[in-house]
Amino acid sequence: MKCKITCIPGDGIGPEIVAEAKKVLCKVAEKYGHEMQFKDILMGGASIDVHGVPLTDEAIEDCKNADAVLMGSIGGNTSTSPWYKLPPERRPEAGLLKLRKALNLFANLRPAYLYEELAAACPLKEEISKAGFDMMIMRELTGGLYFGERKTVEENGVRKAIDTLTYDENEIRRIAIKGFEIARKRRNKVTSVDKANVLDSSRLWRAVVNEVAKDYPDVTLEHMLVDNCAMQLVKDPAQFDVILTENMFGDILSDEASMVTGSIGMLSSASLNDSKFGLYEPSHGSAPDIAGMDIANPIATILSASMMLRYSFNLDKEADAIDQAVKKVLEDGIRTVDIMSEGMKQVGCKEMGDRIVERI
């Protein structure tokens, strides 16, 4: 198979971790008889430095012309970088929001999996972590509060800020369908998270999810209020399979879930549209303080590349090979600094990529 991939190295550690993911993908292509075609483009601060904007129209077209997009990370230090002295619409993160909208990437998948080899890094009590957990957070990505109308006004001498949370039933239905479909590939359980005791948008969310559930009688559905879900993630994470939720709740809950794994440097993500097309990126940020030091953990980006093979190219065997290679590296005691523990062998970003390649 020929895989046409647009790569966005981005800012900070982005170029380093994307380079290792490419290395792994090339090894997979060599072993299984595929062809990887990569094209690098600029986005975020790197694009601002060259083009004055975080994302150009040409870059969007390059993404649209690919089969999938692999991204590193974007942004910099918000307190010192000149990028954050620009208007909000010209800052690095604005490019990512624009790209998600342009590519209609409405479904964000963020797995949170506790590797047995990293259980000691889990901040939860041992009696909780020993049960392990393996969940997928399905976050609606292009609607809700982050994309609603917003303004700041002054009324009677008092400043007032307004943010609007809006969802229509079609936006809810399409993410719900994705959630149930993913559950069928896993353990056939969906936990739909909302705030239906307070918000009209959540009451509509719950109603539409119930309607979609009728088409998936083999999938168990439960509803959970977002505050309860936040508590349950640290009390009993093993209970979750697929967590289905709206944009802001998903943003918060997925970060919480990532940290109970012990390191956000281990967690991949995918953002999908109605087709097989997706944008794949690590869940962590650009870590500008360690950029260029060869100490970043590339595993989240490598696992994102695995998700790309699985969801955009239907190459499950090849994705499994990457996942197993990562697991074998951990079993062999090889660690980057963020997951390092006593008795393990510490390696840098490039060497971690090499070690994973050796095990494919």
The answer to whether position 335 is within a domain reads yes
Residue 5 shares a structural domain with residue 43: yes
Query: Does 332 participate in catalysis according to the annotation?
Result: no
Residue 328 is assigned to a structural domain of this protein: yes
In a domain, 113, yes or no: no
pLDDT of residue 325: 97
Helices (H), 33-168: 45-51, 57-64, 92-102, 126-129
Give the pLDDT confidence score for residue 324 in this predicted structure: 96
Mean pLDDT of 110-131: 85
Whether residue 148 is found in the same domain as residue 48: no
Say which residues have a Cβ less than 8 Å from residue 21's Cβ, sequence separation at least 6.
70, 298, 301, 302, 304, 305, 353
Per-residue confidence (pLDDT) for residue 129, from 0 to 100: 85
DSSP state of 264: G
**Amino acid 357: pLDDT:** 98
- The length of the chain is 360
Mean model confidence pLDDT for the chain = 94
Q: What percent of the chain has pLDDT over 90?
A: 84
Sheet containing strand 220-225, edge to edge, reads 35-40, 2-10, 68-73, 278-282, 268-272, 107-113, 134-140, 242-245, 189-194, 220-225
Read off the pLDDT of residues 26-78 as tens digits, 9 standing for 90 and up: 999 999 999 999 999 999 999 999 999 999 999 999 999 999 999 999 999 98
Count structural domains, the chain.
Answer: 2
Residue 140 lies in a domain: yes
pTM for the structure as a whole: 0.87
Check which CATH number belongs to the domain holding 152 and give it: 3.40.718.10
Higher pLDDT: 266 or 24? It is 24
pLDDT, tens digit (0-9, with 9 covering 90-100), for 41-50:
999 999 999 9
CB 175 within 8 A of CB 205: no
| Structure token pair of residue 165 | 């949370």
| List 146, 294, 328, 354, catalytic entry | 146
Distance CA 327, CA 330 (A): 5
Residue among 105, 112, 99 at smallest CA distance from 58? 99
Examine the domain organization and report whether 253 and 134 are in the same domain. yes
pLDDT (0 to 100) of residue 77: 92
Does residue 193 sit in the same domain as residue 275? no
Please confirm, yes or no, whether 215 is among the known catalytic residues. no
* 227, 236, 316, 320: the active-site residue: 227
Burial class for 22, CB neighbours closer than 10 Å (0-12, 13-18, 19+): buried
- The kind and range of the H/E element at 91 are none
pLDDT tens-digit series, residues 193-248:
999 999 999 999 999 999 999 999 999 999 999 999 999 999 999 999 999 999 99
Q: Which amino acid is at 332?
A: D
> Does residue 308 sit within a domain?
yes
In a domain, 196, yes or no: yes
57 annotated active-site: no
Distance in angstroms (rounded) separating the CA atoms of residues 66 and 224: 38
* Domain match, 47 and 100 both: yes
pLDDT tens column, 291-326: 999 999 999 999 999 999 999 999 999 999 999 999
Distance CA 83, CA 71 (A): 19
**Is 135 in the same domain as 184?**
yes
Q: Which of 220, 240, 260 is the last residue of a domain?
A: 260
Q: Quick check: is 117 in a domain?
A: no
Distance in angstroms (rounded) separating the CA atoms of residues 310 and 317: 8
Q: Which of 211, 233, 260 is the last residue of a domain?
A: 260
CB 179 within 8 A of CB 242: yes
Nearest to 300 by CA among 331, 338, 251: 338
**Are 284 and 304 within one domain?**
yes
For tokens 């590193």, the residue is 72
- Asked if residues 141 and 105 have their Cβ atoms less than 8 Å apart, the reply is yes
Active site residue 311: no
Parent domain of 23: 1-108+268-360
C-alpha Rg value of the chain to the nearest Å? 20
Whether residues 166 and 250 share a domain: the answer is yes
Query: Mapping DSSP to helix (H, G, I), strand (E, B) and coil, where does residue 275 land?
Result: coil
**pLDDT over threshold 80, residue 264:** no
Query: Can you give the pLDDT at residue 40?
Result: 98
Q: How far apart are the first and last CA of the chain?
A: 18
Considering the domain architecture, whether residues 101 and 147 belong to the same structural domain is answered as: no
Are 38 and 86 in a shared domain?
yes
Residues 245 and 128 in one domain: yes
Which member of 62, 194, 251, 338 is catalytic? Answer: 251
Answer positive or negative: Cα dihedral of 262, 266, 271, 272.
negative
Domain boundary among 238, 260, 282: 260
Q: Which of 146-150, 313-317, 345-349 bottoms out in mean pLDDT, i.e. has the lowest?
A: 146-150
* Catalytic choice (40, 134, 255, 294): 255
Based on the fold, state whether residues 255 and 127 are members of the same structural domain.
yes
**Cα separation of 148 and 168, whole Å?**
12
Q: Is 268:283 a contact under the CB 8 Å cutoff?
A: yes
Active site annotation includes 251: yes
Tell me, yes or no, whether 115 lies in a domain: no
Q: Cite the DSSP H helix spans in the chain.
A: 14-32, 45-51, 57-64, 92-102, 126-129, 169-184, 200-213, 226-235, 247-259, 299-311, 316-331, 349-358
Three-state secondary-structure class, residue 189: strand
pLDDT, one tens digit per residue, over 68-106 is 999 999 999 988 999 999 998 899 999 998 998 899 999
Q: 189, 195, 327, 350: which one is catalytic?
A: 195
Measure the CA–CA gap between 67 and 65, rounded to whole angstroms.
Answer: 7
Q: What is the C-alpha to C-alpha distance for residues 19 and 22, in angstroms, rounded to an integer?
A: 5
